[in-house]
Amino acid sequence: MPVLPGAEPYRHEGGDVGVLLCHGFTGSPRSMRPWGEYLAERGLTVSVPLLPGHGTRWQDMQVTGWQDWYAEVDRELRVLSATCSRVFVCGLSMGGALALRLAARHGDAVAGLVLVNPANKVHGVAAHALPVVRHVVASKDGIANDIAKPGVDEGGYDRVPLHAAHSMRQFLRLVDGELPQVTQPLLLLRAPQDHVVPPADSARVLSRVSSTDVTEVLLEQSYHVATLDLDAERIFEESHAFIGRLAPGAGGTAAQGRDREGSTTGG
């Protein structure tokens, strides 16, 4: 299946500090592209991979699971680490959980984490029925476009494939068990009016990680997909300042480097 317009992976070759941005469940790089471009314009090397089964049609997710999604970001981290002196990992929603596992497993290879409305658990009574229901019902209503800003479309699926949702539930439980292994500096930005991931998920993450350098920022004007919402610019600025504090001199004030050939401007 062809990739939807704006859902293409994005890569910018910049300086020796890299940033890996992980999109969320049923989403695509479209939700992270403006953030990635902001950091690229400031001289950082940026990678926004497209997770397997995403960015085409929801049916394609039915044959993928958390192992596939994690393998993709794990590969990108290794690619960045081969050319960059320090690598930061950022994630939205399930992308935040992917980022946390990378931090837990790769240690010093991850210099710091920036999480936006990170997911920690699949909520609701129906979550407990997923192991059985997924064999009877293929999908349910989608979770895309929880955005306060009018006229914005994140380009996510309009259906949630239940086989994939079951796999995500297993993954989030796995990551929760690994949170004490996370020791890196952490910037967590969350929207109190998130209609997809409740505040309890961020609270759980903050209570279980072993990081001592922790900053929490509230995004009062945004909903779940805050990276495209009214607080987007604040996310970009806070993350750039966070990276600059931990890697002095990272990037510059003027754009440098180039986008990977074949990258498009969608999203």
Binding residues for substrate: 25, 94
**Length of the chain counted residue by residue:** 267
Amino acid at 218: L
Distances, alpha carbon 26 to alpha carbons 59, 100, 118, 137, 199, in Å: 11, 19, 15, 17, 21
- The closest alpha carbon to 267, from 4, 1, 52, belongs to 4
Per annotation, catalytic residue among 224, 229, 231, 240 = 224
DSSP letter, residue 133: H
Active site annotation includes 224 = yes
Report the binding-site residues: 25, 94
- 3 state SS of 25: coil
Q: Choosing from 12, 31, 139, 194, which is the catalytic residue?
A: 194
Q: Is 12 helix (H, G, I), strand (E, B) or coil?
A: strand
Q: How far is CA 126 from the centre of its chain?
A: 24
Question: Is residue 128 a contact partner of residue 152, using CB atoms and an 8 Å limit?
Answer: no
Tokens 């300042």 belong to 241
Is 141 an annotated catalytic residue? no
User: Contact 53/23 with Cβ under 8 angstroms?
Assistant: no
Q: Please list the active-site residues.
A: 93, 194, 224
